[in-house]
Structure 1
Amino acid sequence: MYSRFLKRVIDFFCALAAICCLSPLLVVLTVVGAFKMKGNPFFTQPRPGKDEKIFKLVKFRTMTNEKDANGKLLPDDVRLTAYGKFLRSTSLDELPELFNILKGDMAVIGPRPQLVRDMVFMTPEQRKRHTVRQGLSGLAQINGRNAVTWEKKIEYDLEYIKKITFLGDVKIILTTLNKAFIKRSDITEEGSDTATDLGDYLLASGRITREEYDRGQEEAKKLIAMSECHSGAEGDRIHEVEGSREKG
């Protein structure tokens, strides 16, 4: 009853209440972000949601759009600003996702929405994580977040969808608040400013070949292109939003 009917209703009103209560903070972060990022303070990116339907996730931008002489985005650690690191350490960059929840793209609690180029490298069993709405936080986030392996992260996601309860969601929310605002832990992988893509992880560990890797990347681009065409968005937006991970 909760997971099928009540969860969406509760998510909607929780997101609406949070937006109302946090509106002054959202306005301040928007203004400061526009100044710090020298332009658009928001970052949007295609992410696979429930039933693998691709939606546009929105966050506060933490990295600049600086490019090299060839027009290619500079490495994440170069583009990540001090202001961006602060947003990540406090998880304030995630606040705009409240609007994704309000719209119905996401839930308050669920598996975190990964990149399309991560999804294509998941096994059919692992892709079952997309049978529910993706969440602002989830079981993987309170058990290591980006500090655990991809296998363990997805294992937590699959564990969550097997038994979704109101009390379980409340526990995840309280633990998330503790980790995000008090401990500020498990934001990134050790020695890295951003999380490693699943395809890169599998390639580096020798679990897939370069040919399989390239094929997966092409599949991801096609899925995004199909999504963009369906929504009527401009095609050149695809490259911009898929150019970097920001934070998972």
Structure 2
Amino acid sequence: MREPARVTDVVQRAIDVVVAGGVLVATAPVMAGVAVLVAARLGRPVLFRQQRPGRHGRPFTLVKFRTMRDVDEERGLISDADRMTGLGRALRATSLDELPTFWNVLRGEMSLVGPRPLLMHYLDLYTPEQARRHLVRPGVTGLAQVSGRNLLSWEDRLALDTWYVDHRSLGLNARICARTVLVLLRRVGVAAPGSVTMPQFTGSPRPGTEVGGA
């Protein structure tokens, strides 16, 4: 019998603290090396900080390593594709850019497993069903990340997020973490076709809304 969601959340929080603290200590030399590379190749600041919606949509500051150059209209560095670097692609493919995010986990703003924290302006675009993804803490990894990552359509990705909210358990979290290791080793789904990451979410068709031309 699956444990109640409340029990899962309490136990998972304890696991989050232990694992996040351990990862931050164990990977400190790696993060120092990445920081030096980012500073040398991309300049400062080394860290990328951005407001993202957390549990119940409350904003928090997500922390990652920078993977892109600054916007520079004179040099034509405007789109994500223009600003992405070889170092940035390597960091994203290996998820080394995510290591500082474990600080968000330690602070209780994120969990090891949960729907990925997306952009603040997406909050107004979700259907009521999709918005339920914010009933739990966002995760470093999640069901959508091990089920196709950025190769999934937005509708499939958000549907997996809400399915996770309804079916989360310690066993499911453990399986997602194990599958995450395989995804990282295979380096699949890092970017959607024609994009360096994932196209912007513009909203899903609402019930009764026609799609397409005449």
Contact 2:151-2:193 within 8 A present in 1 as well: yes
Rounded to whole Å, the distance in 1 between the matches of 2:176 and 2:196 is 25
Structure-to-structure mapping, 1:60-71, within 5 angstroms:
60-69=65-74
Match of 1:172 among 164, 171, 176: 176
Quick one: which amino acid aligns to residue 156 of structure 1? L
2:129 matched to 1:125? yes
Structure-2 residue corresponding to 1:92:
96
State the Cα distance separating 1:72 from its structure 2 match.
Answer: 9.3
Q: Secondary structure at the match of 2:202?
A: helix
Structure-2 residue corresponding to 1:38:
43
Judging changes above 3 Å, is the alpha-carbon distance between structure 1 residues 72 and 121 closer, same or farther for their aligned structure 2 residues? Answer: farther
Rounded to whole Å, the distance in 1 between the matches of 2:165 and 2:71 is 39
What is the CA RMSD across the aligned residues, in angstroms?
Answer: 2.0
* Greater helix share, structure number: 1
Superposed CA deviations along residues 44-66 of structure 1, whole A, max 9, x for unmatched, are: 11110001000010111000103
Structure-2 residue corresponding to 1:197:
200
Q: Unpaired runs of 5+ in structure 2? A: 1-5
TM-score normalised by L of structure 2:
0.89
2:187 matched to 1:184? yes
Structure-2 residue corresponding to 1:82:
86
Q: Secondary structure at the match of 1:190?
A: coil
Equivalenced residue count is: 203
Structure-2 residue corresponding to 1:115:
119
Q: Secondary structure at the match of 2:73?
A: coil
Structure-2 residue corresponding to 1:235:
none
State the Cα distance separating 1:207 from its structure 2 match.
Answer: 5.8
Structure-2 residue corresponding to 1:4:
9
Superposed CA deviations along residues 98-138 of structure 1, whole A, max 9, x for unmatched, are: 00000010000000001012222101111010010000000
Quick one: which amino acid aligns to residue 190 of structure 1? P
Q: Unpaired runs of 5+ in structure 1? A: 209-248
Contact 2:126-2:203 within 8 A present in 1 as well: no
Structure 1 segments of 4 or more deviating over 6 A? none
TM-score normalised by L of structure 1:
0.77
Q: Secondary structure at the match of 2:128?
A: coil
Contact 2:76-2:82 within 8 A present in 1 as well: no
Rounded to whole Å, the distance in 1 between the matches of 2:211 and 2:79 is 24
Judging changes above 3 Å, is the alpha-carbon distance between structure 1 residues 4 and 179 closer, same or farther for their aligned structure 2 residues? Answer: closer
Quick one: which amino acid aligns to residue 44 of structure 1? R
Contact 1:147-1:186 within 8 A present in 2 as well: yes
